[in-house]
Structure 1
Amino acid sequence: MNNAQDCKVSKENYGLLSVILVYTIWGIQALYWKIFEDVPLMQLLAHRIIWSVGLLIPIIIYTKRLKALIHVFKEKKKFFYILMCSILIGLNWLLNIYAAYSNQMIEASLGQYITPIVVITLGIFLLKENIKFYEILALTTALIGISIMTLSFGRIPLIALLLILTFSTYTFFKKITNIDPIIGITAETVLLLPFALIYVVYSESIGEGVLIGSSIGNLFLLISTGAFTAIPLIIFSYGVKLVNLSKIGFIQYYAPTLSLLIGIFIFKESFTKIHFISFGFIWTAILIVLSYPIVKRLQKNMSMPIKLKSGC
């Protein structure tokens, strides 16, 4: 393997680690949002946007990207992509907070489990990414599990469907948009900022806000929503550029598994036999995806001749 190939593999590995880290954070996010149960849903979303911008703008200025940020808003095509991303990620944030507030993590995890299927499909049919046989096998296995779970609901799982629609489309736009990750995330939150500010000011003016009169501890908690929101998105934007969309789709199964475990063991949501069967198919799909590359690497290493060196 030459240096160029080594560099490509190294970058992809860093991309994979970045994506896995982000999905770990997103998988346990329900525990974080539960801290804010006393904060009205829309106000929490508004503060999340405001403090994200408050964190990102100094980063933009410090890294000398301000001109590039302004330039992005002047390009019609890029502005359209950013506008779509901002709407989609704003809705996704709202849905995730609502799922945590209302103890609907199992339904939310269903949506998060189906999202990779949509992402993989977009990668294959729209971006013409290659898919291997083991990925087809895993995809089919996951679809069986998802079908069983969806039918078991006996109703339209609205939260799940909206989570699927918002984040799979957001991931697709992030993949096709050639914008610096930090600039992209900043631009998305800046577009949402005026609406967030108006809502917070209105809430405070009618005496229903959570900012004025808040304790120092609660104020720091509100500010922390910016870091919790922006930093994972920056890391995700970095990783998504280095990893195939179809591979990201399979990694996405990690986050809903964490969400599911939190829903069952911490929030004490009901987990039936049907849930167990359907999730069993999904976990089998994940095992196929994770084990195949490891087995191939082991086979390759075992087939390589051992070279004996004389001296140092």
Structure 2
Amino acid sequence: MSNPDTERHEQQGERTAQAERDIQAKLDAKEPRSFQSDEDKPMQAGAREYPAPPMPSQHLSKPGLEADLELQPMWEAPYWKGSGKLEGKVALITGADSGIGRAVAVLFAREGADIAIAYLNEHEDAEVTRKAIEDEGRRAILIPGDVAEPSYAGSAVEKTVAELGKLDILVNNAAFQEHVHDIADLTLEHFDRTLRTNLYGYFLMAKAAIPHMRPGSAIVNCGSITGIDGAKQLLDYSMTKGGVHAFTRALSSSLVPKGIRVNAVAPGPVWTPLNPADKVEGEIEDFGKQTAMKRPAQPEEIAPAFVFLASTQMSSYITGEILPVIGGYD
């Protein structure tokens, strides 16, 4: 028998995805947007070689399917060996269908956690994440819907606890981003969508999750370098990510008596569906070239920071911190 709340949340996810496409369509016709170029050789310092600009010229429809990317993000982390850092834990991860969220989910599973995959409506991507988690020998459930919908957070948390038994880790990762060249083009609809997803979503998920968490639990928020430095073509997004950083610090202080740690990871440019679903075709080739390493990160390069901050074995004395992972400083 179908659950009316589940059906309603899935329908809301579809409506929100269409609203995001409507915002995107208006801006695709505006004047070009691009990153700075640089001829220096990209830095390769990882376990394997990662793609560097020029990136494929491709534009995705919102919210962006990873399955549709010509250059698939690298999330498998084949050289990462699990060692039980999250053994027996249950994590709820928003935006876990693709990108950073998928990479975090896979590493969490490899470290022993069961995963609730919260996502908007990217069902095909979410199924890939679920299979990857199950291939790690862990349980996974899918929870489609819009994190900005007030009733969704409670429903997602309740389903996680009911089906996976508890909730130890919340990762707030879902986000909406769309470049705007001129503040005059930043409509109230667009501004509201960014705030509702990136701020309301984080607040609502945390509020719903905290009553189910015990001492030793953790919340890890996904911030951004734009929340530290700002980005002139991401006025609303930068503002929300700065808010995420402030929310992280404030919430961490209030949860010290409960024994719940709260931290944030602030990535620089990362090759996920988020950016090809933002910048129009022909303007994504130089993505990540402005970093010191002259290339974007891949999701598997960001995910270890989330493992570090979620694990009591690794970061039991760390709360209220913002960890930038940005490819170095020029």
Bin the TM-score by the shorter chain: under 0.3
What TM-score results when the alignment is normalised by the length of structure 2? 0.25
Bigger Rg over Cα: 1
TM-score (normalised: structure 1): 0.26
| More strand as a share of residues | 2
Q: Which has the higher contact order (CA 8 A, sep 6+)?
A: 1
Give the structure with the larger helix fraction: 1
